[in-house]
Structures are given as structure tokens and as C-alpha cells.
Amino acid sequence: MSRSKSVIMLPLVLMWSLIYGVIGGLFFKSLSVYEFWMISNRHHIRQWKRYPVRHYRQFTTAVLIGRMGAKAWSSLPITRNQITWEYAHAPFPYLVILCNTLLALLYLPFALLSGAWNGPSFVFTRIWQKRTQALTLGSGLQSQ
Amino acid sequence: MKKKPLILVVEDDRQQSDLVIEVINETERYHAIPAYDGEEALQILKSHQRGFNFLSNKIECILLDWQMPKMNGELFLKTLRNEEGNSPFKRHIPIVICTAYHDKERQALARDSTLGLASGYILKPFEEEELLGLLERIVIHKEAEILREILIERDQRWARELDRVSQRREHD
């Protein structure tokens, strides 16, 4: 009986997984890209606002690495002094936000593809697991 | 009504777990859920997935006991981070390690073995304010990543300091 039920259920579950999985996958993946963008930006803004010294140190180090390039190591203290003289405070992280936005936009199509691909398998596995659990629970109760 | 942020308390000692949960729930800002070992905690995390597991988990923070019988804190932490590593753009769940180790060597070992995977570290017995302060920074102010970076930097400083001391001893 349960086997014949499974034969009927399987195509229905497959169909549902495909439809709901693709739509849900696309939607949730785009949401996940937005979530990543939000979290990453919030991290930098928070650091700039609440941990200015730390942010300033990270900023000057990044500029120093960029400027040192092929320069001799002996010029490191002078370059560092120049940077601290040029920038009294770390600027608002506009550049980081811009980079994050570009990265998110670049990643979005791939994320959507992976959402459409992985969504159906996720839905199918979930439904089938629940069904198997319900069946084993039912047979356990019957045997009691 | 806005839902309260969920905190997962992974602690094998039921008395301690109840106490921590009571402290957290009393604030009425968070809702604490117990798990008595690492395996149960992983199950709870699985049942709190959002959006086909593409979005971040409903659990906002995990308070993790280091010493547990079935699956200890270190194994749990590594398993969780391995799973999270499959989706690099997803937010990792912030973890606060709670341990009773007092000597610095064990602390350093525990910290080193987590490879900077946790956002905070508190020693038992801890004060209510210490725990709630950490939770506020992680859950309300969303500073888990900054705290994790600070923890890593502190570890690196310690390691450098230890190296310097051992080198000086060898030299002497």
C-alpha cells in the first residue's frame, strides 16, 4: 500500500520541488546576496563609527602597503609619517561600499543560477525526509 | 510584535544551563534555547535554517561550553564552521566560548585550536553583566566580526610575545 502511494507521490513531489524550488531558490539567493552586502557594509561602517582608532590603523596600513610597492624598506618610516600627515582621520568607507556593491552585482547572476539549481534538491530532500519520518513513526505506532 | 533574537546555549550541565538561560530570558531582550551536547546543537541549528539554508540562521548567537561529553566544543565549532564554509557569502553564526580553564596556557591552547573561529571568550564563573554585555555587542550592535578580529589580533600578539620570551631564554 505504502509502496503504491510512493509511486503516486514521487512525481507530485518532484514537480512541486521543481516549481517551488526554482522560484524559492531564485528569491532566497537574491535575498542572500542582499544580506551579504548589508552585513559587509555594516561591518565597515560600524568599525569606522565605533572603533575609529582601529579603523584608522587599518586604513593607514592599507595605504602604506599600496605606496611601498617597489620602494626600499628604509623609506618605510618616512612613508608612514607622510600618510599620517596626509590623513588625520580615516575617511568614510565609500570605496569599500562601492567595491561590495560591485562584487554583489557581479556575484548575483551566479548566485541566482546556484539558487535555481540547488533549490529543487533542497525542497525534495526536505519533503522526502519528512515523509520517511512520518512513515516510520506511523509504522512504529501501528506495531505498538 | 518583533521577535526576540534567539540564543542557543550549548551546555552539558543542566543546572548551569538553566541558570544561564534564566539570566538571558530575564532581560526580555533575547530568547534562549538549551542544547545539552554538540550533536543536539547541530540538530537545533538545522531546524532553524532560513530560506532553503541560503540565508543566515535564525539563531543569532551560540554560547558554547568547551568541555562536553558527546561532541565537545572544539569539534562542534569546527564542524559548524566547515558546514558554513560551503557557502562563503553567508553570515557565520557568532559563537562565544564559555570555559572553566583558568591557566593561561589552556586558554591559549583553546583559542589557538579554534583558529579565531569564535567572537568571544568568557571564563567560568562569569558575571551576569559580562555575559549580557557580550551578547549586546554581538546581537544588538552586530559587532561579532569586529570582536572576532580583535580576538585574532590579541592571539597573534600573545604568540609574538611568547616567541620573544622563549628566544630571550634560549639566548640567555
Could you report the average pLDDT of every consecutive run of 10 residues in chain B (172 residues)?
A: 89 93 94 93 92 91 88 87 81 87 59 66 86 93 86 76 80 77
Lowest mean pLDDT among A3-7, A94-98, A132-136, B161-165: A3-7
Residues of chain B numbered 11-40 and touching chain A (CB < 8 Å): none
Of the candidates A90, A106, A14, A108, the one whose C-alpha atom is nearest the C-alpha of residue A52 is A90
Which residue in chain A has the smallest CA separation from B46?
A126
Kindly state whether B153 is in contact with chain A, defined as any CB-CB distance less than 8 angstroms.
no
φ and ψ at A21, to 5 degrees? -65, -45
Kindly state whether B154 is in contact with chain A, defined as any CB-CB distance less than 8 angstroms.
no
- In eight-state DSSP terms, residue B55 is B
Kindly state whether B90 is in contact with chain A, defined as any CB-CB distance less than 8 angstroms.
yes
Which residue in chain A has the smallest CA separation from B88?
A36
Kindly state whether B145 is in contact with chain A, defined as any CB-CB distance less than 8 angstroms.
yes
CA distance B138 to chain A (A): 12
Residues of chain A numbered 46-65 and touching chain B (CB < 8 Å): 46-47, 50-51, 54
Asked if B89 lies within 8 A of A32 by C-beta distance, the reply is yes
Kindly state whether B43 is in contact with chain A, defined as any CB-CB distance less than 8 angstroms.
no
φ and ψ at B65, to 5 degrees? -75, 140
Q: How confident is the model at residue A23 (pLDDT cuts 50, 70, 90)?
A: very high
Which among A21, A29, A35 has the least Cβ separation from residue B91? A35
Please list the residues that pair with B7 across neighbouring strands.
Answer: B32, B61
pLDDT tens string A111-125: 999 999 999 999 999
φ and ψ at B7, to 5 degrees? -120, 130
State the pLDDT at residue B164: 83
State the pLDDT at residue A17: 92
Say how far residue B155 (Cα) sits from the centre of its chain. Answer: 16
**Dist CA B101 CA B115 (whole Å):** 18
CA distance B44 to chain A (A): 15
Kindly state whether B81 is in contact with chain A, defined as any CB-CB distance less than 8 angstroms.
no
Query: Residue B5: left if φ>0, alpha if ψ -120 to 50, beta else—which one?
Result: beta
Domain extent listing, chain A: 2-143
Of the candidates B113, B115, B117, B110, the one whose C-alpha atom is nearest the C-alpha of residue B93 is B117
State the pLDDT at residue A123: 92
pLDDT for A102 beyond 70: yes
Say how far residue B12 (Cα) sits from the centre of its chain. Answer: 15
State the pLDDT at residue B137: 92
Kindly state whether B51 is in contact with chain A, defined as any CB-CB distance less than 8 angstroms.
yes
Which residue in chain A has the smallest CA separation from B153?
A54
Asked if A107 lies within 8 A of B145 by C-beta distance, the reply is no
- Collect all residues of chain A within an 8 Å Cβ-Cβ radius of residue B143: 46, 50
pLDDT tens string A26-78: 999 999 999 999 999 998 999 899 888 888 888 888 888 888 877 777 778 88
Give the ipTM: 0.77
- In eight-state DSSP terms, residue B160 is H
Angle between helices A2-50 and A52-68 (to 10 degrees): 90
Kindly state whether B56 is in contact with chain A, defined as any CB-CB distance less than 8 angstroms.
yes
Kindly state whether B91 is in contact with chain A, defined as any CB-CB distance less than 8 angstroms.
yes
φ and ψ at B155, to 5 degrees? -60, -45
Q: What is the pTM of this model?
A: 0.83
State the pLDDT at residue B1: 65
Please report the number of interchain residue pairs, chain A to chain B, with beta-carbon separation below 8 angstroms: 56
State the pLDDT at residue A121: 92
**Dist CA B151 CA B119 (whole Å):** 7
